[in-house]
Amino acid sequence: MFKIGTFNKISPVGLNKLTDEYTIIDDHNEAQGIILRSYDMHDMDFSDNLLAIGRAGAGTNNVPVDRCTEQGICVFNAPGANANAVKELVICGMILAARNVTAGYSWAKTLVGSEEVGKQIEKGKGQFAGVEIMGKTLGVIGLGAIGVLVANAAVALGMKVVGYDAFLSDKAKENLDDAVEIVSDLSQLYPVCDFISIHVPANDSTKGMINREAFDQMKDGVFFLNFSRDKLMNDADLLEALNSGKVETYVTDFADDAVLNADQDDIIVLPHLGASSAEAEENCASMAVTQVMDYLENGNVTNSVNMPNVSLGKRKGSRVSVFCKEGAASDVLARLVEYGATEMKSASKNGYTYILADVSVPEFKLSIAGVIRTRYMK
């Protein structure tokens, strides 16, 4: 019986995928797997029982991935499961900003109880005149699952689209609308765009990447949308760009204190609604649960942020998995051959190797320097 712990409210559609071999428990120290959404795990201690963490979403900033790697805990996410929900909100945010919808709505609410409201509306609506997005140019920074959908939706709405991704995948190229222009450097994107939407992960290389140098290259009056992470923005440079008119409006789903405390009409803050749709929560939970189950039962890895993808399909007999430092992999593989492994697969990622092997021995023991975790499944 596998024990599963949960944090946050996980969609029952996902949890219902757990079979009779699983039980949901309250004591996370006994769990072999944990499913969560945004709960911050950085201050948690992990027991030796924990084998896998499934994040029901794309970002894993709330999970101490490096520490999990050191302990041989596989961390999964659910890339693309919430992509449509985020795409729809990005398009919504772009139109809210372009047409001054939030400012107009706030002003209209002040007229409650006034006399001749209709006349006042007609007289005052001109101050909220905006622009249409059709015919404008949208720059999309980051062409992963969400960025591709945003780019294609913008094309369908009659926009010109310029896209940039430092690590553009073949899958993204295949899925992108032919009308999307791909550039090799952000200096080619910034000067030509009326709207810019960013969709990249938050890490050491992207932290504060949207700064004064970036703003200086953009058009005056650009609309900037951030539905990725607040850490991508240099707040001081952003506020300076807003106050100077370089940025017309900033729309974000990830506000921090600096942005909220600015309390400016040219900042539209949403309360992290990107993946907050019933469909997205169901999709993310289902993907996270399914991946954790496959790992616990079969040792297969799909969509892990700290281990490479390796699969031998559904386990029919005994199977061994080994997670080790890359330098130890050859010794591990040699030992598995000695144990008469009938089939083996391995892959490496970021200096670590994950190995799966079907074996016909009643037990498996391994003592090799550099091995982080070994599992024997039967």
pLDDT (tens digit, 9 = 90+) per residue, 270-321?
999 998 899 999 999 999 999 999 999 999 999 999 999 999 999 999 999 9
Helix/strand number for the chain, H first, E second: 13, 16
> What phi and psi values does residue 16 have, to the nearest 5 degrees?
-70, -10
Residue 202's CB is within 10 A of a number of other CB atoms, namely 17
Whether the model clears a pTM of 0.85, i.e. scores above it, the answer is: no
pLDDT (tens digit, 9 = 90+) per residue, 155-168?
999 999 999 999 99
**Tens-digit pLDDT profile for the chain (378 aa)?**
999 999 999 999 999 999 999 999 999 999 999 999 999 999 999 999 999 999 999 889 899 999 999 999 999 999 999 999 999 999 999 999 999 999 999 999 999 988 888 889 998 899 999 999 999 999 999 999 999 999 999 999 999 999 999 999 999 999 999 999 999 999 999 999 999 999 998 888 999 999 999 999 999 999 999 999 999 999 999 999 999 999 999 999 998 999 999 989 899 999 999 988 999 999 999 999 999 999 999 999 999 999 999 999 999 999 999 999 999 999 999 999 998 899 999 999 999 999 999 998 888 888 999 999 999 999
| pLDDT at 364 (0 to 100) | 85
| pLDDT at 138 (0 to 100) | 98
CA distances (Å), origin 301, targets 60, 246, 247, 316, 341:
17, 46, 43, 17, 19
User: How many angstroms separate the CA atoms of 262 and 246, rounded?
Assistant: 17
Give Dmax over CA atoms of the chain in angstroms.
89
